[in-house]
């Protein structure tokens, strides 16, 4: 079954809605100067509150080129299950993280299938080290949450070659089914696409998860 990550969670109520709706991951931001950034005390409240609903949902902390000791301190303080690395972190850096890792690999908005021969190599480098990978749209100076897509055929070509990843970038309840059908990713990741006026919209969260799961079930049944 497709994995679903609801990112940019800023309070326990939104996290619990996502967990109850069937999300596999909820993401909380610790990147300085990001508008969805939360305080460590809120992160810990979200982690504990989600586990009160279910232990099946993993709480993911988002970081970007931050000192490793700072990251590991937040992982412990906030009781995070996973750290998502959104910057230029290396495999060696990821090896020092005190929990499982998701590494974001950014794809240019002008990328076309076959135009970046190193993309698959970068993805596989982290997969070979035991990490999950997210493909997201490259926007200079911003690490995710931009609501912008990239050419899904780029991701689809990687999927057809056997690469496993989460797909992010401009996904919404309306297009997530098409994205899954086109790309066949291991999972999907959304933040701004389930918001209304900058706040998480509970109906959009539920619709996104339902649409993703229904599409994946239909594809599995037909395949």
Mean pLDDT confidence for 168-174: 96
Active site annotation includes 136: yes
Question: Which residue has 């305080």 as its token pair?
Answer: 39
Residue 196, class by beta-carbon neighbours within 10 Å (0-12 exposed, 13-18 middle, 19+ buried)?
exposed
DSSP assignments along 75-100, one per residue: HHHTT-SEEEE-SS--HHHHHT-SS-
DSSP assignments along 141-175, one per residue: TB-S-------HHHHHHHHHTT---EE-SS--TTT
Dist CA 195 CA 109 (whole Å): 22
Instruction: For residue range 110-149, list pLDDT tens digits in order.
Output: 777 766 568 899 999 999 999 999 999 887 656 555 667 8
Q: Out of 14, 24, 136, 189, pick the active-site residue.
A: 136
Active site annotation includes 14: no
Instruction: For residue range 23-62, list pLDDT tens digits in order.
Output: 999 999 999 988 899 999 999 999 999 999 899 999 999 9
Please state at what angle helix 119-128 crosses helix 152-160, rounded to 10 degrees.
50
Q: Out of 7, 78, 81, 86, pick the active-site residue.
A: 7
Mean predicted lDDT score pLDDT of the chain = 93
Q: Name the more confident of 72 and 148.
A: 72
**Amino acid 142: pLDDT:** 60
Please give the domain boundaries of the chain with CATH numbers for all domains.
Answer: 3-217 (3.20.20.70)
Please tell me whether residue 24 adopts helix, strand or coil conformation.
coil
């Amino acid at each position: 079954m497709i994995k679903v990550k609801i990112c940019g969670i800023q309070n326990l109520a939104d996290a619990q809605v996502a967990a109850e709706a069937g999300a596999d991951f909820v993401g909380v931001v610790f990147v300085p100067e990001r508008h969805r950034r939360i305080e460590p005390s809120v992160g810990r409240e979200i982690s504990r509150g989600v586990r009160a609903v279910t232990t099946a949902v993993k709480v993911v902390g988002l970081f970007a080129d931050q000192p490793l000791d700072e990251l590991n301190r937040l992982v412990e303080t906030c009781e995070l299950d996973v750290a998502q690395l959104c910057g230029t972190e290396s495999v060696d850096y990821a090896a020092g993280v005190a929990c499982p890792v998701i590494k974001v690999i950014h794809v240019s908005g002008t990328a076309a299938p076959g135009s970046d021969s190193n993309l698959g190599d970068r993805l596989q480098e982290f997969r070979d080290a035991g990490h999950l990978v997210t493909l997201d749209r490259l926007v200079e100076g911003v690490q995710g949450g931009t609501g912008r897509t990239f050419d899904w055929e780029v991701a689809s070509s990687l999927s057809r070659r056997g690469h496993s990843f989460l797909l992010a970038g401009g996904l919404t309840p309306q297009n997530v089914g098409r994205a899954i059908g086109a790309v066949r990713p291991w999972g999907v990741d959304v933040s701004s696409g389930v918001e209304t006026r900058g706040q998480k919209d509970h109906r959009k969260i539920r619709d996104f998860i339902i649409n993703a799961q229904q599409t994946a079930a239909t594809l599995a049944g037909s395949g």
